[in-house]
Structure 1
Amino acid sequence: MKPQAIVFDLDGTLVDTEPVGYRSWQLAARELNYPLPEGFVDSIIGQNAKLIRQRLHEVSPEGMDPEAYFDKARETYHRLLHTEPVPLKPGAEGILRWLAGLGIPLAVCTSTNRYEAEHKLGSNGLLDYFEGLVCGDEVEHGKPHPEPFLKAAELLGMPPEGCIAIEDSPNGLRAAHAAGMRVILIPDLAHIVEEVEALCWQRVDHLDAARACLWRELEQWQDADEASSAR
């Protein structure tokens, strides 16, 4: 199906905030004198607060208060986000400006709550590019469930099959694929195993390469439309 809309993940895709999240868990663990559970941060990338809290309860060793740890990490993350500039991923503004110039509807589908999502986008002047914003505190089921991406397609008034998602995490990739979207994967911090990576339509290393993928796809459809009109 011809691409009709693009749905972006936020953290690790448009903004380079995954290292901030990892640092928050490390600082909180140090302050509370807790061990950082092995593999925990990788497993929660792309998930909302509800699922992160559940996962923390599952992996917390004896003697650790998972609620205290969660609250301290969240407090630390919030403080870092609002005292340091929110860094953009290279090529983020360029791909958004290009797609907006083509008149292609855009949405963000993030596990971050709305307050933080609007801060990350707004502080970089990106919020107005998007017609839809689906946040982790506004869905019943977070990534890897398809609900967030289905809601994004609904907000844009497009069928999921007509949307291309751009994601960095295994949880996001699973969610977008389950929603019926083609996915451009740009891996960030999370390790992506082969069977999960196989779900993506294209795998690239950065947003400029994602832009090139989209340009080729759109050009093919334009050529097909022109050929059809000439018949």
Structure 2
Amino acid sequence: MLKTLQQAERWQVEAVLLDMDGTLVDTERVYIDSLTDVLTEFGYPDARAVCEAMIGLPGPACQQLLIDRYGAKVPLREINAAFATKRDACFSQGLPLKHGTIELLDALDAAGWPTAVVTSSTQQTAEQHLALGGILERFDFLITRDAVAHSKPAPDLYLLAADTLGVTPRACVAVEDSGVGIAAAFAAGTIPIMVPDLLPPNEATRAQCAAVLPDLIAVRRLLTERAGLGINA
């Protein structure tokens, strides 16, 4: 039996919002490794550090980061083409899910809790990645950067997700893997939970988190304890 929690410790949760890359599907490692290899092949220094700085950012911001680091003459078109080739070769056999994805989605579905994917990726990319992971049909809505003027770390995506689901942001748990995503979820007024993927949170990011957990199994457990997930299912 779950221990009784004080009322002040409980969360009133009406929806769960989930980042995609690095949170639900294991794409970030593929992205970082593929682009690191390409930049190295093109002769650019500090490739991995530059790529890790892109985690959680939308595509246009990543392109600008390359320009800022390597100069205006960086051959973006050629780099993008080489990156896409390496990335797609990795994705050709399907896309692995992060540990606990299915277990969390099953628990949310059984409890009837509304869900949305909230991602800085485009609608096309989101649909592709979720389909490759076999979970495209598991969500009520996909909220992508195509729908807002400002992507993460701005709060726009999370505010739109809450509005689309018809709930207040403070009644939404947002699950993210990056500092950029946590900043967006925090600014929107949601309950941010971080499951770090490639990089641990810094002090500023940790201060914005309601919890930092090792995987989505732990997220499911925490939602059971703090918000009653599955108790009445």
TM-score normalized with structure 1 length? 0.87
Q: Distance in 2 between matches of 1:164 and 1:42?
A: 26
Give the conservation status (yes or no) of the 8 Å contact 2:18–2:175.
yes
Residue identity matched to 2:36: Q
Equivalent residue, structure 1, for 2:40 = 30
Equivalent residue, structure 1, for 2:170 = 161
Give the conservation status (yes or no) of the 8 Å contact 1:16–1:88.
yes
Q: Distance in 1 between matches of 2:130 and 2:94?
A: 11
Q: Does 1:146 align with 2:155?
A: yes
Q: Distance in 2 between matches of 1:169 and 1:126?
A: 21
Residue by residue over 1:151-209, the C-alpha shift from the partner in whole angstroms, topping out at 9 and shown as x without a partner, is 11122111111100000100000000000001111111124211211100011101100
Q: Distance in 2 between matches of 1:193 and 1:104?
A: 31
Q: Distance in 2 between matches of 1:56 and 1:202?
A: 32
Q: Does 1:96 align with 2:102?
A: no
Residue identity matched to 1:57: I
Residue identity matched to 2:39: A
Equivalent residue, structure 2, for 1:229 = none
Residue identity matched to 1:137: D
Number of residue pairs matched? Answer: 221
Q: Does 1:206 align with 2:215?
A: yes
Q: Distance in 1 between matches of 2:78 and 2:33?
A: 13
Q: Distance in 2 between matches of 1:47 and 1:174?
A: 11
Aligned to 1:125, the other structure's residue is in SS state coil
Q: Distance in 2 between matches of 1:30 and 1:39?
A: 12
Q: Which residues of 2 match residues 175-190 of structure 1 at below 5 A?
A: 175-190=184-199
Which aligned runs of 4 or more in structure 1 are off by greater than 3 angstroms?
none
| Aligned CA-pair RMSD | 2.2
Q: Distance in 2 between matches of 1:37 and 1:26?
A: 5
Residue identity matched to 2:65: R
Give the conservation status (yes or no) of the 8 Å contact 1:96–1:129.
yes
Q: Distance in 2 between matches of 1:75 and 1:176?
A: 29
User: Percent same amino acid among aligned pairs?
Assistant: 34
Residue by residue over 1:120-175, the C-alpha shift from the partner in whole angstroms, topping out at 9 and shown as x without a partner, is 21233312221111113332111111111111112211111110000010000000
Change (3 A) 1:12 1:170: same
Aligned to 2:12, the other structure's residue is in SS state coil
Aligned to 1:145, the other structure's residue is in SS state coil
Give the conservation status (yes or no) of the 8 Å contact 1:144–1:175.
yes
TM-score normalized with structure 2 length? 0.86
Residue identity matched to 1:100: D
Change (3 A) 1:78 1:157: farther
Give the conservation status (yes or no) of the 8 Å contact 1:7–1:166.
yes
- Residue of 137, 162, 177 corresponding to 2:146: 137
Change (3 A) 1:68 1:34: farther
Q: Which moved more, 1:156-165 or 1:25-34?
A: 25-34
Aligned to 1:39, the other structure's residue is in SS state helix
Equivalent residue, structure 1, for 2:202 = 193
Q: Distance in 1 between matches of 2:77 and 2:200?
A: 27
- Residue of 38, 49, 65 corresponding to 2:59: 49
**Structure 2 gaps, min length 5:** 1-10
Q: What displacement does 1:38 show?
A: 5.9
Q: Distance in 2 between matches of 1:127 and 1:141?
A: 24
Q: Which moved more, 1:210-219 or 1:77-86?
A: 77-86
**Structure 1 gaps, min length 5:** 224-231
Aligned to 2:108, the other structure's residue is in SS state helix
